[in-house]
């Protein structure tokens, strides 16, 4: 009887702890690093039809303490696609509402059934309408490499969403990842959306290219430019983040990398690469290595604070599934690190963003006031990735 009672107590405690984690409770998660007020927005156990949740994206809502996070729930049996959901917080991330489904893989579009991935949120300054862009791929595909752009908007702060068909002048496959940037090309306002494709994966005549889409309306999109590849070595440039450059009128993009011909390998050494545009995003410089920025085949965040300080948040360690490095028996994408670069200075030494002895990846940040960021990323356990979506706060100190 005593043993049974103990088992019941352990079971109840476990359930309570899981519920607290799933509800984004006020109790802070123990960790090392500079990010604070860490919460769990959502746990995969709350999605019986999914085996992972991943790729979160955060923006500030209409009011001071409102935050909106979009994330993807990976459908059982799929490699990297499923549903897109959005969760709201009205208390600066302390608690999070039940998520709302924006794109549902169970709903058919006529005779076609799609699965979705990689949400990107955007609200134009001065507008209340918020957009959610994502990728949709025919559900019979193995992965999401053959995706097209899709979009939906909300006019009530993210509580309801209306899908809209995009008018696409770029008709090839694409993979989204990072936020939209507003610019001006030849005197006309444009929205730039970075994307890449990997048609070489299934077609020997395909390619691995990073490019920029542009729009004047957020509804109609065209191919604006490619990021030029270096001649030697060729590099698989993908998942780039844009920010204002060092000089007035410049735009800089910093990209995740891999070996061009064998994407199972990192570049040597494992580094992020970058490119610069001086004409609003119409043309770009030949990509080059960023010697101070580590990248081992995992999405990183690159952005610039309102005071001009750059921030780069990335997964440490080796490439994913590489068990050869000492201290990383379960491969890469473990702790998150970051570097900052104040105006006119060099990149700082590596700092710890979040380290809890578990897997973490795909960070996205938004500045809510000068030097004060809100962040989301997908987390797991020590040996399982992407079991929950994490939230935290970061204040930059030079």
Map out the domains of the chain with their CATH numbers: 2-395 (2.120.10.10)
Report pLDDT for 398: 63
Q: What average pLDDT score do residues 230-255 get? A: 94
Which of 99-103, 186-190, 294-298, 355-359 has the highest average model confidence (pLDDT)?
99-103
Residue 349 CB neighbours (<10 A): 8
Over the stretch 122-176, which tens digit does the pLDDT of each residue have? Answer: 998 888 899 999 999 999 998 898 999 999 999 999 999 999 999 999 999 999 9
| DSSP-derived 3-state class of residue 16 | helix
What proportion of the chain, given as a percentage, has pLDDT over 90? Answer: 78
Identify whether the C-beta of residue 207 lies closer than 8 Å to the C-beta of residue 196: no
Phi, psi (rounded to 5 degrees) for 7: -60, -40
Report pLDDT for 86: 98
Over the stretch 359-393, which tens digit does the pLDDT of each residue have? Answer: 999 999 999 999 999 999 999 998 899 999 999 99
Q: What is the pTM of this model?
A: 0.91
Over the stretch 337-349, which tens digit does the pLDDT of each residue have? Answer: 999 999 999 999 9
Checking if the pLDDT of 310 tops 80, the result is yes
Over the stretch 97-126, which tens digit does the pLDDT of each residue have? Answer: 999 999 999 999 888 999 999 999 999 888
Cα(283)–Cα(225) distance, rounded to whole angstroms?
Answer: 6
Cα(303)–Cα(58) distance, rounded to whole angstroms?
Answer: 13
Residue 9 binned pLDDT confidence (cut-offs 50, 70, 90): very low
């Amino acid at each position: 009887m005593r043993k049974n009672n103990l088992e019941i107590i352990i079971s109840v405690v476990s359930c309570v702890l899981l519920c607290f984690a799933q509800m984004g409770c006020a109790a802070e998660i123990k960790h090392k690093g500079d990010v604070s007020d860490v919460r769990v927005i959502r746990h995969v156990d709350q999605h019986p039809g999914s085996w992972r949740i991943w790729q979160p994206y955060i923006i500030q809502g209409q009011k001071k303490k409102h935050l909106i996070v979009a994330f993807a729930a990976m459908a059982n049996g799929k490699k990297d696609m499923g549903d897109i959901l959005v969760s709201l917080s009205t208390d600066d991330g302390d608690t999070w509402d039940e998520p709302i489904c924006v794109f549902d893989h169970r709903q058919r579009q006529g005779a076609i059934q799609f699965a979705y991935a990689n949400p990107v949120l955007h609200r134009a300054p001065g507008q209340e309408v918020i957009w959610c862009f994502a990728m949709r791929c025919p559900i019979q595909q193995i992965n999401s490499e053959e995706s097209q752009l899709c979009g939906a908007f909300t006019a009530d702060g993210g509580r309801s969403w209306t899908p809209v068909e995009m008018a696409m002048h770029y008709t090839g496959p694409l993979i989204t990842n990072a936020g939209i940037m507003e610019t001006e090309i030849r005197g006309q306002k444009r929205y730039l959306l970075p994307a890449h494709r990997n048609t070489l994966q299934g077609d020997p005549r395909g390619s691995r290219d990073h490019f920029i889409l542009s729009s004047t309306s957020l509804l109609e999109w065209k191919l604006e430019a490619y990021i030029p590849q270096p001649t030697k070595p060729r590099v698989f440039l993908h998942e780039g983040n844009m920010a204002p450059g060092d000089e007035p009128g410049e735009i800089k993009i910093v990209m995740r990398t891999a070996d061009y011909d064998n994407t199972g390998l990192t570049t040597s050494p494992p580094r992020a690469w970058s490119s610069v545009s001086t004409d609003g995003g119409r043309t770009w410089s030949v990509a080059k290595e960023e010697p101070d920025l580590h990248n081992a085949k995992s999405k990183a965040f690159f952005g610039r604070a309102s005071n001009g300080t750059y921030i780069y948040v990335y997964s440490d360690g080796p490439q994913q599934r590489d068990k050869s490095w000492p201290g990383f028996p379960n491969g890469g994408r473990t702790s998150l690190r970051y570097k900052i670069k104040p105006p006119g200075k060099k990149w700082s030494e590596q700092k710890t963003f979040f380290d809890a002895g578990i897997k973490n990846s795909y960070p996205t940040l938004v500045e809510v006031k000068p030097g004060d960021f809100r962040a989301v990323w997908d987390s797991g356990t020590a040996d399982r990735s992407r079991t929950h979506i994490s939230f935290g706060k970061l204040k930059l100190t030079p």
